[in-house]
């Protein structure tokens, strides 16, 4: 169809499936997060940038959970930018941007997504019982 043109793989997958897979990765990362990291305010230190998710995972033994989450966010941001810019064909570029917009919209519907802003009204449905 678009011979010789970069074709982002996300165009070949359902939006729901992509969001579910991204959310599973985020869930695993959040499970590694220690609450002490949030108190210590260690995320304000500069981090060396990564261009490969595999390198980040292989070298993550000395990194804290908050650092890995921050680096993943940066990797995802750079990946989105590169997917759009690598699509030289205008129709492919428009489809790629549209797909990322649909992904963002679908993320708003996923309650456990880390990219979804916290809405404290969500917590009103939970009842806390004193024991």
For the segment 52-63, what is each residue's pLDDT rounded down to a tens digit? Answer: 777 777 776 777
Q: What is the pLDDT of residues 62-113, one digit of tens each?
A: 777 788 888 888 888 889 999 999 999 999 999 999 999 999 888 766 555 4
Could you say which DSSP state residue 59 is in? Answer: T
Q: Are 114 and 30 in contact (CB under 8 A)?
A: yes
Q: Where are the domains of the chain?
A: 12-125
pTM higher than 0.75: no
Assess contact for 126 and 38: CB atoms under 8 A: no
Q: Which two tokens stand for residue 58?
A: 């292989």
- Nearest Cα neighbor of 55 from 70, 37, 42, 68 is 68
């Amino acid at each position: 169809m678009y011979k010789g043109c970069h074709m982002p793989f996300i165009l070949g997958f359902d939006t729901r499936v992509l969001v579910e897979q991204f959310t599973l990765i985020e869930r695993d990362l959040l499970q590694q997060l220690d609450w002490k990291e949030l108190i210590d305010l260690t995320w304000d230190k500069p981090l060396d940038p990564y261009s490969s998710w595999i390198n980040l995972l292989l070298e993550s033994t000395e990194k804290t959970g908050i650092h890995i989450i921050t680096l993943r966010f940066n990797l995802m941001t750079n990946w989105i930018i590169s997917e759009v810019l690598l699509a030289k064909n205008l129709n492919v570029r428009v489809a790629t941007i549209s797909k990322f917009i649909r992904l963002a919209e679908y993320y708003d519907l996923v309650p456990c997504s880390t990219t979804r802003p916290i809405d404290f009204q969500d917590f009103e449905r939970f009842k806390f019982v004193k024991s």
